[in-house]
Structure 1
Amino acid sequence: MQKKSVSEWVKSGDPWVWLNAGAVAISVIMVVGLLLLIAVRGLGHFWPADVMQATYSLPGEKSYTIAAERVESVEVTSAQLREAGVQLPADDDEFLQRTLLKMGNRDVYGADFGWVLDKYLSDIQTPEMLFAAERHEWGNLYGYLMAVKEDGQLVSETSDVTATASALATWVMFEKSIERATAIHDDIKDIEKYDIGKINHALERIRLKQRRYELNGELTPAVEADLAAERAQYDEEYKGLQANLAALYQQINRDSFVVRVMDGTEHEMPVSKIVHAFRPNAMSVMDKLGFYFVKVWDFLSDEPREANTEGGVFPAIFGTVMMVLLMTVLVTPFGVVAAIYLREYAPQGIVTRVIRIAVNNLAGVPSIVYGVFGLGFFIYFLGSGIDQAFFPEALPSPTFGTGGLMWASVTLALLTVPVVIVATEEGLSRIPRNVREGSLALGATKAETLWRVVLPMASPAIMTGVILAVARAAGEVAPLMLVGVVKLAPSLPLDGNYPFIHLDQKFMHLGFHIYDVGFQSPNVEAARPLVYATALLLVIVIALLNLSAVTIRNHLREKYKSLEM
């Protein structure tokens, strides 16, 4: 077999095939590697790691006992440590292992993370009775449970920090107290957020109604009496709920516990501050796996706490999905109609070509420009006009003259409409001419041909445009910072209060949540794993939205495949 020369091999195109295959392989490896990094760093945060107890003693400093979780380890030089002010012996090792520990107890020590040198850690243990507790505030708590109290009276105590019968009995009482406090906490949350929230919403509507009557000169004594009677009814309901709340708060503050931290001091704390308490060193792999899924579910279903560094991200998930759905409902008809006009009805002259060039250029405009436009036109101009025309009773407090879900969705629809137009036009241009002519020859009008033949055949291309629009809009953050997204929203934009969907309400978004936790958090080390977890969640949400659209597109493609033959 005759060998090819190098020039013949290049001319055959084989090098470019291998080059393209290599580029694709590298891209796939990079994407998979990035996703694996995000998944490991994010999902690993929820695993209940063992808590070690050790003695730490730097040369020339007083030794002390610590209890902490290992977070990460790095290798540093002794010269770097000396430059940072760490006192080390002159003959110390050139390279030292340095470990970041999560020590918790921020209310006791002032900081819950710290670096230690592994060389100076000694007497490392993992005691079974050393417990970790996630709290509503002040982060994690590490220590030994010494006593449980009800109404200030001891119900169980122990003087031993080993797994003795008395220590285990005290732990069981502690767990029961946490379950009771959690149930009461949920009842309080339901009353404050839903029942009282519903009353506050109704009272605000009465206030706005009264103000409207005043502006229209229709506030007669009879109308005012009716409004006062309606308000009095809600006031009575509010008083009853307040009485229930007072009783619940008295019950939830009944139990307390005493914890001994590593410096030997004991602190009494209310049980109501505890979210979860567990003894990781005494848990089996299956116990840890069960607790892991509980933590993941809390992350998906709870609200944020501790400046968004604790708790869950459900409001951000809800806000992201709802905004994308509203944006899709807005952008699809406008993009499709514009594409149909440009392809099927507009004269194919210089004006149409200029419009197509403008649409293509709009697809490349930075998203922050759309945010500035949305702020100036939609909020300051259009929203303020809507407030003046339809909500004068609420002024000077804005209704639509401020950022909200509707303006965020409209701004992103404007940002993504060029993508839908281009994709739809491409789909329409691929419909064979004889299909149109055959429909017209059978007596159908141009509109009927377009609606019953052309659009169904172009629907896969339309769905491709929608997929691209969803993928871009779901990850955008810059314009949302100007037109409606906030760090923490007090309630969801969808609830049981009329009109149920509150388009004027601000909302949370996963992309902005990542930015806020990663760059605005006062506790950087605590926020870091949540950045990875939220980033992974955002990727999953976008993938699910796109997968839904891809499934619809493939169904449409199979349905109308016969028409293309």
Structure 2
Amino acid sequence: MNTWFKSGKPWIWLTAGSVSISLIAVIGLVIMIGWRGLSFFWPSAIHEMSIEQADGSTRTLIGEIYDNETVPTTRIIESGVILDGFDEETVTRYLMKIGNREYVPLDFAWVLAPAIEKDTTPPDLAVIERTKDGNFYGYPVAILQQGERVTIQGDFREELFKRVERAVELNEQAMALQEDEIGAINYQLSQLNLERRALELEGKLTEQAIADIEQRREALQNQYLEYEEKLFALRDKAARDALIMRDMRGEEIKLPMQEVLDVNFPNDMGFFAKLGHFFQQIGKFVSEPPREANTEGGVFPAIFGTVFMVLLMSVIVTPFGVIAAVYLHEYAGKNAVTKLIRIAVINLAGVPSIVYGVFGLGFFVYMVGGNIDQIFYPEALPSPTFGTPGVLWSAVTLAILTLPVVIVSTEEGLSRIPPTLREGSLSLGATKWETIWRIVLPMASPAIMTGLILAVARAAGEVAPLMLVGVVKSAPMLPVDGNFPYFHLDRKFMHLGFHIYDVGFQSPNVEAARPLVYATSFLLITVIVGLNLTAIGVRNHLREKYRSLEH
């Protein structure tokens, strides 16, 4: 046994076991997050339950079972609930999502299993996904057109789907018109105001300049009125139809078709129909903007903001990190100052991220951004352009945060390059810079990509500094659009990490938001893995390309 310990094999097994346990824990966590997040998009059965009330009356609930738990019977009795004739030690209760927020005090309700007199899943029960007030559960009764009930000769559901699709298409056309054409005109009008202000500050605001600006403004306003007329016409067309629903109270409710996004009948779906609906809902989640204080809809602006910010950070941090590493390894002398700089770089990696956020807010936003506004955008003052948190300052702040990782990784790559390659290049007449540019950096590129991978992995999940330098709960405009200069780095943006925090801890409807926390978390992991796999693929390609030079 003593010989076995001295051989070092126990420590090898211990290390292998620790790595295996860690790997299993990580994979298990990802699977758990993915399961809870993706199961949210699978169509659940819609239940119609008859619930016995404390006064002996019966109440009907329509909705989907969101969760269930088993609790001690004594705990239920202590909360004031009377359970006559129930002598079990534990009782099961169900969390029902009943929707219909504008007609019920809460769109979630706990139901005790002993109180359920009847539980059915009728095939005619429908789930109506709406632009506001969440889902509506009930029975479709009739379709209204211009306030009159429509006599339907064929299949009612087919006609309903057709009219919902028509309303959705008209709403999409109206949204595209409002965001593109009308948005472009509003942007040009704001630019005209800035142009006039700039001419006034320069003392060049002549009568001819004023007349020219007013002429362009009038032309833009005429275009605006034309587009506005088209917008109102599209909205009127979308508002033509309405849907009559019978809710759990037995009352008929009128739902404007322009507020309906989708209609489905989960209780009447087969497996493949549910599978198609599952992928359709995932597609909506990753391609649509959020609604209802981020508790409904998708997360496309957050996905775009996260990827755009990380790519911008990568463009900033890579050259600075490589230049710093080349200087420290190739040019700086081996003295106390160089050692101090290396110690400082290593220590910077351990600074809390919120400190970088405070630094970014004070230095980049207020100092650098404020000076940029005074020099280049005086016409916009006192409204700040770059002197306010935005995607540029977020990317720069995270670049400073991840800079030590890139420097250390690049330096390690430089130190692994054989000195004979440098000496051979210099002996052939190349300068030191040519040697570094053509020999050293290409061979160190896999190490540079490794540093970038680590930087991306850390930056994509950071939230604390971004809360100070650019991220917001909701950003109506993306940092990229069709208006010159196309990339608007001064704009605020949404981020998946902050979206998780906001939905999980700041949401007015915690139960509705809980599945979205898991879904968004899984999506963030997927985005980070995707970015890392891309960088790993590039790194492996570079490693194979320059492998022959190492020998």
* TM-score computed with the length of structure 2 as normaliser: 0.98
Is 1:330 aligned with 2:316?
yes
Asked if structure 1 preserves the Cα contact closer than 8 Å seen for 2:196 and 2:205, the reply is yes
SS at match of 2:385: coil
- The answer for the alignment partner of 1:550 in structure 2 is 536
- The answer for the alignment partner of 1:48 in structure 2 is 43
Q: Of 454, 457, 464, which aligns to 1:478?
A: 464
Q: Of 306, 322, 330, which aligns to 1:344?
A: 330
Unaligned runs of 5+ in 1: 1-5, 158-165
- The answer for the alignment partner of 1:36 in structure 2 is 31
Deviation at 1:464, TM superposition (A): 0.6
User: Whole-Å Cα distance in 1 between the matches of residues 256 and 155 of structure 2?
Assistant: 19
Q: Which amino acid aligns with 1:453?
A: I
Is 1:427 aligned with 2:413?
yes
User: Whole-Å Cα distance in 2 between the matches of residues 450 and 246 of structure 1?
Assistant: 63
User: Whole-Å Cα distance in 1 between the matches of residues 316 and 451 of structure 2?
Assistant: 13
Asked if structure 2 preserves the Cα contact closer than 8 Å seen for 1:156 and 1:170, the reply is no
- The answer for the alignment partner of 1:16 in structure 2 is 11
Asked if structure 1 preserves the Cα contact closer than 8 Å seen for 2:310 and 2:459, the reply is yes
- The answer for the alignment partner of 1:489 in structure 2 is 475
Asked if structure 2 preserves the Cα contact closer than 8 Å seen for 1:156 and 1:173, the reply is no
Asked if structure 1 preserves the Cα contact closer than 8 Å seen for 2:141 and 2:246, the reply is yes
User: Whole-Å Cα distance in 1 between the matches of residues 85 and 46 of structure 2?
Assistant: 33
- The answer for the alignment partner of 2:453 in structure 1 is 467
- The answer for the alignment partner of 2:271 in structure 1 is 285
User: Whole-Å Cα distance in 2 between the matches of residues 258 and 148 of structure 1?
Assistant: 6
- The answer for the alignment partner of 2:114 in structure 1 is 119
Deviation at 1:402, TM superposition (A): 0.1
Q: Which moved more, 1:6-15 or 1:200-209?
A: 6-15
Is 1:199 aligned with 2:185?
yes
SS at match of 2:44: coil
User: Whole-Å Cα distance in 2 between the matches of residues 16 and 109 of structure 1?
Assistant: 62
Is 1:216 aligned with 2:202?
yes
User: Whole-Å Cα distance in 1 between the matches of residues 40 and 89 of structure 2?
Assistant: 32
Any idea what the Cα deviations from partners look like across 1:280-313, whole Å, max 9, x if unmatched? 1111111111111111100010000011011111
Asked if structure 2 preserves the Cα contact closer than 8 Å seen for 1:103 and 1:114, the reply is yes
- The answer for the alignment partner of 2:258 in structure 1 is 272
Asked if structure 2 preserves the Cα contact closer than 8 Å seen for 1:133 and 1:142, the reply is yes
SS at match of 2:357: helix
Q: Which amino acid aligns with 2:243?
A: F
SS at match of 2:40: helix
- What are the within-5 Å matches in structure 2 for residues 244-263 of structure 1? 244-263=230-249
Deviation at 1:91, TM superposition (A): 5.1
Asked if structure 1 preserves the Cα contact closer than 8 Å seen for 2:33 and 2:519, the reply is yes
Is 1:562 aligned with 2:532?
no
Q: Which amino acid aligns with 1:121?
A: I
Q: Of 133, 137, 144, which aligns to 1:138?
A: 133
Asked if structure 1 preserves the Cα contact closer than 8 Å seen for 2:471 and 2:492, the reply is yes
User: Whole-Å Cα distance in 1 between the matches of residues 46 and 24 of structure 2?
Assistant: 35
C-alpha spacing 1:245/1:436, structure 2 compared with 1 (3 Å): same
Asked if structure 1 preserves the Cα contact closer than 8 Å seen for 2:322 and 2:407, the reply is yes
Deviation at 1:14, TM superposition (A): 2.1
User: Whole-Å Cα distance in 2 between the matches of residues 36 and 516 of structure 1?
Assistant: 23
- The answer for the alignment partner of 2:220 in structure 1 is 234
Asked if structure 2 preserves the Cα contact closer than 8 Å seen for 1:59 and 1:89, the reply is no
User: Whole-Å Cα distance in 2 between the matches of residues 342 and 246 of structure 1?
Assistant: 64
- The answer for the alignment partner of 2:159 in structure 1 is 173
- The answer for the alignment partner of 1:161 in structure 2 is none
Q: Which moved more, 1:217-226 or 1:19-28?
A: 19-28
Q: Paired residues, what number?
A: 551
Q: Which moved more, 1:185-194 or 1:248-257?
A: 248-257
* TM-score computed with the length of structure 1 as normaliser: 0.96
- The answer for the alignment partner of 1:3 in structure 2 is none
Any idea what the Cα deviations from partners look like across 1:92-125, whole Å, max 9, x if unmatched? 3210111111111111112211111122213211
Deviation at 1:443, TM superposition (A): 1.6
Deviation at 1:272, TM superposition (A): 1.1
User: Whole-Å Cα distance in 2 between the matches of residues 192 and 84 of structure 1?
Assistant: 52
SS at match of 1:107: coil
Deviation at 1:59, TM superposition (A): 4.6
Any idea what the Cα deviations from partners look like across 1:122-169, whole Å, max 9, x if unmatched? 321111111111111111111011111100111047xxxxxxxx8x83
Asked if structure 1 preserves the Cα contact closer than 8 Å seen for 2:68 and 2:95, the reply is yes
Deviation at 1:432, TM superposition (A): 1.1
Q: Of 155, 174, 181, which aligns to 2:150?
A: 155
Any idea what the Cα deviations from partners look like across 1:240-289, whole Å, max 9, x if unmatched? 11111221222111111111111111111211111111111111111111
Q: Which moved more, 1:207-216 or 1:107-116?
A: 107-116
Is 1:25 aligned with 2:20?
yes
Q: Which moved more, 1:62-71 or 1:35-44?
A: 62-71
Any idea what the Cα deviations from partners look like across 1:387-408, whole Å, max 9, x if unmatched? 0111011011000000001100
Asked if structure 1 preserves the Cα contact closer than 8 Å seen for 2:53 and 2:59, the reply is no
Q: Of 309, 315, 328, which aligns to 2:295?
A: 309
Q: Which amino acid aligns with 2:3?
A: E
Q: Which amino acid aligns with 1:26?
A: I
Deviation at 1:58, TM superposition (A): 4.4
- The answer for the alignment partner of 2:342 in structure 1 is 356
User: Whole-Å Cα distance in 2 between the matches of residues 328 and 61 of structure 1?
Assistant: 66
SS at match of 1:364: coil
User: Whole-Å Cα distance in 2 between the matches of residues 211 and 148 of structure 1?
Assistant: 54
RMSD (Å), alpha carbons: 1.2
Deviation at 1:87, TM superposition (A): 2.4
Any idea what the Cα deviations from partners look like across 1:321-341, whole Å, max 9, x if unmatched? 010011000000000000000
SS at match of 2:150: strand
Q: Which amino acid aligns with 2:44?
A: A
SS at match of 1:443: coil
User: Whole-Å Cα distance in 2 between the matches of residues 103 and 287 of structure 1?
Assistant: 23
User: Whole-Å Cα distance in 2 between the matches of residues 416 and 241 of structure 1?
Assistant: 46
Is 1:374 aligned with 2:360?
yes
User: Whole-Å Cα distance in 2 between the matches of residues 59 and 78 of structure 1?
Assistant: 16
Q: Of 156, 166, 169, which aligns to 1:183?
A: 169
- The answer for the alignment partner of 2:70 in structure 1 is 75
- The answer for the alignment partner of 1:162 in structure 2 is none
Deviation at 1:522, TM superposition (A): 0.4
Any idea what the Cα deviations from partners look like across 1:195-218, whole Å, max 9, x if unmatched? 110000000000000001111111
Deviation at 1:90, TM superposition (A): 7.3
Deviation at 1:45, TM superposition (A): 0.5
Deviation at 1:173, TM superposition (A): 2.4
User: Whole-Å Cα distance in 2 between the matches of residues 534 and 528 of structure 1?
Assistant: 10
Q: Which amino acid aligns with 1:517?
A: V
Q: Which amino acid aligns with 1:258?
A: I
User: Whole-Å Cα distance in 1 between the matches of residues 85 and 146 of structure 2?
Assistant: 57
TM superposition outliers: structure 1 runs of 4+ over 6 Å: none
Asked if structure 2 preserves the Cα contact closer than 8 Å seen for 1:323 and 1:409, the reply is yes
